[in-house]
Amino acid sequence: MTKNNRFLFLLILLNILGFCVNLTKSNPHPQFPCQPPHHKYPFCNKNLPISTRVQSLISLLTIDEKILHLSDNTTSIPRLGLPAYEWWSESLHGIATNGPGVNFNGPIKGATSFPQVILTAAAFNRTLWHSIATAIAVEARAMYNLGHAGLTFWAPNINIFRDPRWGRGQETPGEDPMVVSAYAIEYVTGFQGLNPKAKTGNRNGFGKKRRFLKEDDNDGERLMLSACCKHFTAYDLEKWGNATRYNFNAVVTKQDMEDTFQAPFRSCIQQGKASCLMCTYNSVNGVPACADKELLDKVRTDWGFDGYITSDCDAVATIYENQKYTKTPEDAVAVALKAGTNINCGTYMLRHMKSAFQQGSVLEEDLDRALQYLFSVQFRLGLFDGNPADGQFANFGAQDVCTSNHLNLALDAARQGIVLLKNDQKFLPLDKTSVSTLAIVGPMANVSSPGGTYSGVPCKLKSIREGFHRHINRTLYAAGCLDVGCNSTAGFQDAISIVKEADYVIVVAGLDLSEETEDHDRYSLLLPGQQTNLVTTLAAASKKPIILVLTGGGPVDVSFAEKDPRIASILWVAYPGETGGKALSEIIFGYQNPGGKLPMTWYLESFTKVPMTDMNMRADPSNGYPGRTYRFYTGDVLYGFGHGLSYTSFSSQLLSAPSRLSLSLAKSNRKRSILAKGRSRLGYIHVDEVESCHSSKFFVHISVTNDGDMDGSHVLMLFSRVLQNFQGAPQKQLVGFDRVHVPARKSVETSLLVDPCELLSFANDQGNRILALGEHTLILDDIEHVVSVEM
């Protein structure tokens, strides 16, 4: 080891030791640069442009100091007054403990635990998504002010829920690219403080979107916090057979890449203005994502991304260690840095970048380019603007965490997301005056604040069964199974005994993190172990039909329960967070009307014959491959995308929609114009050849009537289908959605904006977006309306 390398290693070790000490105690206030006597450096001058300040700082750093900034745990540089900084904090559905940047060891002991993302997505409510992100941001900024967290958070997860067995599907907004894109935009703008100018009414239960950045700060420069869209790209496998996320090569067609996997990331960057992108572990078509220059260049050159790119944790190491893509560790860090990975979550760059530099495979300009993106985000966050106690967000503190408003928001999210899958003979809601004794069975019913992956310390520890205590004086509980794995029937008898004593029975079955989580996929879609046996045994023992409540983020094949008349109602609660028990009890007893819709397809167990490693979205009849998600899947399902029942009934009326769209070709060179006209004769046109796509957008005006006697919310889903037989076209695809609250026996009008270039199009086998000419059918519930697209 050379003298310089020994010095670098010592600095790293001292910094890690110092950080570990800091984890045991919370600093009352964050450390910050530009304190006297270091405040006179040009990079501390707030009157200078950020780009000038960044270049000033970079110019003052030595090679060793530059390398020290390529890790999530950045070492302090005392001579310049730069404190250590931890880039890695997590905020998927509340401030989480996964990242080392967060701790609850000081005045803040917990943070609001919102429902897991998959359940929030089931609400299909953009305003709700934005409000949750804003609330998390407030708590995050408050925790930063008290030394509990950083300002850079690695959320949201916007990968497509492609396979129902995926252990992290629960973290995503589901299987539809449009929905995932919409969620990404709302989360990022809400979290970073960059509010869209559009205002949302209060028909969904919320007022206008909150804004924290000043008007003159919303110019793309300033950030309240930094959000990170992950995992780029085609990541949706943990461990299946011999494939792990660390060695898997995702073979993806250009077609699927364009209209499925990349769509949410493009929206997250172009419309959400995300300041961070995380590249994933896996390879994509033979190249590790964090080493794929073509892939990472695209986000900057084509999508206009100006934030920083981080690797997933140790994803730079896997380039050499697992993917065997390079011959040496030095080659791995060099190829990642040159490809566009700016920072390594982990220490691989710290340990091997100096050698790569000395070997000549990395130049100083490569280091400077990475630091430019990293420091730019920190400057936009105000980290170099002096004492944060004097800043715009200085007033956020412990009083802004776990507030009643945030807890009520979490409760409303669970209410809106819970999905009623089955309700025979209108068994629900229950009249609590007719319930003297309620039996609740299942190990998940007694878990405190079931939040799923990437959870933190909740404000209050509440289980699902505790939510029923306020409604019923006498509730009986038995686990039935020792745990969710349910490998024994030893607890069945205790459960049977309380079921026979009760007026009504609720069985909480399904999944927990022992069945689905990071680094762990499922092999079966059936209930684990003896759970099916438990449910049917209790249904046979009960005096009345039972209520089945399903936990877990992934679909479960409960076709046995759907067919069994002794199981009257089925509800899916996923991981509902700390207010989930209260929300569920309010729905079961009719204080709230369920309105959630499934954001993913619930397949039958037969789907598990499909290799999880097959990334193809489209069906292939020649080899029996059935395709994936509602857009392409040709097999039978238990519950389809968008399924969800209500205690009332709704009817929709199409008030107005265009019958004809006339498009014109953009002005271009003669050769391209001839090619475009030739394609139009074949029945389609490339979207990038349409003149002014923006002006072709149109509204679909809808009236929704609540035909029942109970107030409720209805999720409108507008789909489109191409009538011509185009190879590779989706069976149907979502082009608009909204959630509207409609009082009993009343009607509400709303409008859905449709962008035909973006939403009526799909990708051809070359990865180009094409728009079919001719008739497109718009589908709303049982209404169909034809729009003719013409040149």
- Residue 591, exposed/middle/buried by CB under 10 A (0-12, 13-18, 19+)? middle
Compute CA distances 459 → 94, 95, 139, whole Å: 11, 11, 12
Candidates 87, 101, 115, 67; CA nearest to 311 is 87
- Cα separation, 628 vs 616, in Å, equals 8
Take residue 492 and report the two structure tokens written for it.
């069945």
Distance CA 356, CA 66 (A): 14
Residue 59 phi, psi dihedral angles, 5° rounding: -65, -20
Instruction: For residues 583 and 599, give the distance between their C-alpha atoms in angstroms, rounded to a whole number.
Output: 19
Q: Token pair of 673, please?
A: 């114009």
Q: Check if the beta carbon of residue 194 is closer than 8 Å to that of residue 186.
A: no
Task: Yes or no: say if 699 and 689 are a contact pair by the CB < 8 Å rule.
Answer: no
Q: Print burial letters for 755-777: b (CB count within 10 Å at least 16), e (below 16).
A: ebbbbbbbbbeeebbbbbbeebe
Q: Three-class SS of residue 39?
A: coil
Can you spell out the DSSP letters for 532-572?
A: HHHHHHHHHH-SS-EEEEEESSS----HHHHH-TTEEEEEE
Determine the Cα–Cα distance for residues 620 and 602; give it in Å rounded to an integer: 21
Look at the chain and count its residues. 791
End-to-end CA distance of the chain: 69
Q: Are 354 and 67 in contact (CB under 8 A)?
A: yes
Under 8 Å between Cβ of 70 and 343: yes
How far out from the chain centre does Cα 329 lie? 32
Left, alpha or beta for 627 (phi > 0: left; psi -120 to 50: alpha)?
A: left
Distance CA 493, CA 512 (A): 23
Write out the two tokens for 344.
């390594």
SS3 category, 59:
helix
Helix and strand numbers, DSSP H then E, in the chain: 21, 29
Q: CA–CA separation, 619 vs 129, rounded Å? A: 32
Quote the CA–CA distance of 556 and 444 in Å, as a whole number.
Answer: 15
Which residue in the list 72, 163, 256, 312 is annotated as catalytic? 312
Contact 95, 111 (CB under 8 A): yes
| Of the candidates 455, 385, 457, 314, the residue with the CA atom closest to the CA atom of residue 151 | 385
Asked if residue 78 has a cis previous peptide bond (ω within 30° of 0), the answer is: no
| Backbone region of residue 386 per phi and psi (left: phi > 0; alpha: psi in -120 to 50; beta: other values) | left
Answer yes or no: 312 catalytic: yes
84: Cβ contacts below 8 Å, ≥ 6 apart: 15, 18, 19, 31, 73, 74, 75, 76
Looking at this protein, which amino acid is placed at residue 437? Answer: T
Catalytic site residues?
Answer: 312
